Structures are given as C-alpha cells and as structure tokens.
Structure 1
Amino acid sequence: MLNMMSLVSSSSHIIVDERNKRLVVNGYLRGIKPAFFSRELIELAVDKKLEKIWLWALPADVPEFLGFGFRTEGSLFRDNFEEFAISLAYYVNPARAVSDKLQTENDIVDSVRTEPIRRLSSLSEGIRLKLLNQSFGEQISELLTRVFESYPSPVEDPQYIRALIKDGNIFAGAFIEKKLISVAAAYPDKEFNRCEMTDCATLEEYRGNSLTERLLGILENEVLKHQTLNLFTLARAQSYGMNRVFHKLGYRFQGRLINNCDIAGSFEDMNLWIK
C-alpha cells in the first residue's frame, strides 16, 4: 500500500497556498486510493487552516472523491476524452462554497456567447507587441500590481516573475515606446499536457485596443509551435471583458470555481474556459 501521508507531504504537485487559503492539487499518481488520499488532503488542509481544496482528478476517481465531500466545478478536455481532468473542490470552510453572484455570472457567460464576434481592427499606431524575457520582470510586476489591488500569486516581487520566465513560462507585452501597457502569460505544463493562459492586465487608459486578445494569440502560437497542449484559463467570472476575449478566441466555457482565489481585493469565482 502507498504511504499516503508521505505522498501528500512530499509531492511537488500539492501546494499549500496560504495566500489564497487553499490546498492546490495539480495532479497525482495513477493508482492511488481516493479514499485514503481524500482523508490525508482534508487533514492537511485543516491542519494548515486552509478553507478550500482544489483538486484536478482523473475521471475514474471522481465518484469516490465525491463520496468524501468533494464536488465537481469544471472539466478540462478536448475532443479526445483520453486527455481529461476534472476540477474538484472540497470546502473546509462551508462559507467559502457560497457565492451570491452566480446569476450575474451566468448572465455574463450567456451574453458573451450570443453577441456577434467582430474582426480585430488594425493595431493603433505606436503600439508594439513582443515576447518578454527576464529583463522585463520589474515592468511586468509594476503593471500587474498597478492593475490589481490583490493577486493570487506574488507578482509584486519582480524576482518571482523572472523565475517564472526562467522556468519556461512565456510572457508577452504591448508597449508604447518603452512603456509596458499590457501583458499576458502562458504557463505550459508538459507533464499534465495543459497550459494555463493567465496574468492578463492592461492599463486602464489603453483598454479598447484588444491588446489582451492580440497578446494571447501570440502566446498560443508560441506554445503550440513545439507541443500540443490543452489550453485553459481561469477568467474572473464577474469580468465581461475577459470572458468575452476567451470566447472570441475559441475557448469553451466548462465550469466555475467558486471563491477560488484572492484577486482585485476579494475572493472571486473564476470561470474555466478550455481550448
């Protein structure tokens, strides 16, 4: 029998995320027993005073996880159902499982799906788009902290940004002269055959130029040059603009993660979009 406590405490796929008061389980070894694994995860979350467990689960294991109080919040799959993961949640704090904005968020998804999709207009003169290396860590950090009152990851630290890029994550930005005015990122995960599209931010005075949409297109091309990954994003469920962008780019809405992370000053629901 596998030593479950050893697996939980030593796995690099299990993250104690105190910033967002959650335990994040990005994946696990095939063949584990969900009953034992569930108990150990819940014990760890309680011990660390966390409020939520966010678990990417294999489809065959889902019924047993549900039996231990987890619930389904989304799914990650393409047309090939062999590449499939289910986003599950367990709420140590029951209040964290409650959202009072679900109807508004549903209306946003319905709206972005039904409005006509217009072609991109020409990029405004003077704006340049480019991939970003580690030397742009300070500017990326300054932009993200200026746009967001709070953020799920420590983007206020430029060294954190530089480490992300060094580890193979890809950033793209829009500039006016030397000023970074918009940014987006892609986090490829070859082990689990997926890539999160994230860290999208544009200075308020430059919105309306479809910069996020353009940057995501650049990032998608860069990611898919050498590998075929499931692309996904977690878009703020209350943001019409971000959900609209991903719908326009061909992503499919496949779930909502309740009070998933601390962004823009409070815990927010995040919509899961897949491509």
Structure 2
Amino acid sequence: MTKRFADLTAVAGVDIDVYSGECFGLLGPNGAGKSSTMRMLSCISQPTTGTLRVLGRDPRREASRIRGRLGIVHQANNLDLDLTVVENLTTYARYFGFSRSDAKQRAQEMLQFAQLEDRSGSKAEELSGGMQRRLAIARALVNSPDLVFLDEPTTGLDPQMRHVVWQHLLELKRKRTTQVVTTHYMDEAEQLCDRIVIIDHGRIVAEGTPQMLIKENASQEVVELWFADNPTDETVALLSGIGEHFDLLSDRLILYVARGEDAVNEVHRRGLSPSRVLIRRSTLEDVFLRLTGRTLVE
C-alpha cells in the first residue's frame, strides 16, 4: 500500500499480513508512517494505491460492514466523561445494534473484564488514568470484535497500571482475538507481540518475532557508558574497534558487543574512565537504533 498527501508520501509501499489470533506490532519513530498505515488498516482512510483486505473484505466497498467487526482503542481515551462507566459501555453497545437488555448484559461482562464493577456508577471523568484506559479498552471490545487496533494502549500509565493493562491484552490473545498494536515501549512489544514490523520513512525495514529481530539485528550484549563531560572526538576515536559498532547519544555512548565484561576491560585499558557503566542484554530498542538511527519518540 501507499498513502500520499499532495507532495508527501507517508507510506511508500507497505506489504504485510496479519494472521488470525496473533498480536501484531506496528512500530516506528514519529513520522515513520505507522499512523497512516493504522488508519488504512482500520478503514478510516483509503490507500492511494495498492490492495487492502481487512477480515477478507475490501474497505472501498464494505467499510461499514468491516467496522462492525472492529474494535479501536485510540491513543486518547475519547470517553464520554459525563456518562457513568456502565453508560459508556451500554451506549456504545447500542451503536452496534444491541437491544437494551443485551447491551446491559454485555456491559456487565466488560465491567468484569476490566475489573471496574465497583466503579460502574462513577462518571468516567472521576476515574484514574489507568481506570479510564481499561474502560476505553473494554468499550472497544463491547461488540466482540474479530480484530482490535490499539494505538499506544499504555501511554501515560505508571508501571504498575501498564502491567494490569498487559494482563488484559494477554487475556485477549488467549481468546484468539487478533490485535494490531502500536507502542513506544519496547518492553511492551516484547511482552505482547507475536510478530513485529518496523517502519521508517514509510517503508518496512524489518519484520519478524521480537526474538528474531534481536538475534538478527543486535549484538549479544550492550555496554552503556556515561562520562562526567560530554564525549569528545578523542573519546569516540579511542572506542573505535571495540565491539561490532557503537551509537553516540546525547547523554551516553552505547557499544554493541559479544561480551560486555571484555569490552569494559578494553575501555579501561585504553585509558578511558566512564563515570557509570551498564552491561545488559540487547533489546528491541537497540534494534531500533541500529535500523533507524533514531529513538521511537524522537
């Protein structure tokens, strides 16, 4: 697919398959084209060129039928803040043709799923950020969708609440509900996604399972070095040849190496004295830096 806006090509030829029952991650730096891709996949906008099938149907001719089988969790919660928790669910269910009694029953099921039974009568605006996010996810599931799109589902949540939301999404996966997720948290992608596509400048630069992407695009270990002063050209030159390659960030140097301890010993042998050293395994974020040269939120 491609997507063009006047002289801007936002998506420059993306070819993907999302399989039934999997959690599929669509990742990329800001401006990479993932939002435009998500809008096409969720039948909000049409491709400029290319072929798109969602749930086996053509969005150009059957968009309304497709949307009835989708659940969409936007980055902003867009809840009806003046309505109660249960009213948010029943009202949304009615949009999908549920009778009043069926809407109430479905709302109760979703309250249990989101663990919000005790707040059913509270207005949405009275909920914490984490509770609002759980309600937004529950509302997107009220029509029992076959395919759910989640745009940065845990942005702005504290670590504890992120893990609560993860458990809900993992439960969806156990129920074989297909999910397409965008996220700026690499640990989230590793936890949730069966497969991942990384997009940069409108094109796919990598595709595979999280473990495969790390194995194929990153070293076994990573050494992060902080210095009392910003690294100079001389510092960078002294690090040359240690490991496979390195990245110079605004606050630290990152070495990609086979064995972290050996690399640190070599750094000291060359006369460098970093103020702080961290040795860790490679992650998806390292894959990102290597493939795009940018952080997710840059």
Same fold (TM over 0.5): no
TM-score for both structures, normalised by structure 1? 0.25
